[in-house]
């Protein structure tokens, strides 16, 4: 269980960094990594508690990180 959690954080960090590097987002490196790690943690614990999510944990981390990057900044952006 603990290695999966560490792997989830690492994958989320890589997704956050890559999204900034490619220009997918313009939040800043640290902010994107924090958003991705938060989304990945949420998906990890939802899968742990309720069993909802994809079978491989890595796919869960990638999808949750990208979803958090799309939802969080657009929700708080000024209109």
Summarised one tens digit per residue, pLDDT across range 2-53 is 899 999 999 999 999 999 999 888 888 999 999 999 999 999 999 999 999 8
What pLDDT score was predicted for residue 29?
A: 93
Quick check: 77 pLDDT over 70? no
User: Count of domains in the chain?
Assistant: 1
Give the Cα separation of 49 and 58 in Å (integer). Answer: 17
Give the Cα separation of 76 and 55 in Å (integer). Answer: 31
pTM to 2 decimal places: 0.86
Q: How confident is the model at residue 75 (pLDDT cuts 50, 70, 90)?
A: low
Return the residue matching tokens 């490619």.
Answer: 22
Give the Cα separation of 50 and 36 in Å (integer). Answer: 21
> Residue 46 sits in which domain range?
2-76
């Amino acid at each position: 269980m603990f290695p999966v959690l560490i792997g989830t954080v690492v994958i989320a960090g890589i997704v956050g960094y890559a999204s900034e590097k490619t220009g997918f987002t313009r939040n800043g490196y640290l902010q994107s990594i924090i958003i991705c790690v938060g989304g990945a943690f949420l998906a990890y614990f939802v899968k742990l508690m309720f069993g909802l999510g994809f079978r491989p944990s890595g796919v869960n981390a990638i999808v949750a990180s990208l979803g958090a990057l799309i939802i969080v900044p657009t929700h708080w952006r000024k209109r």
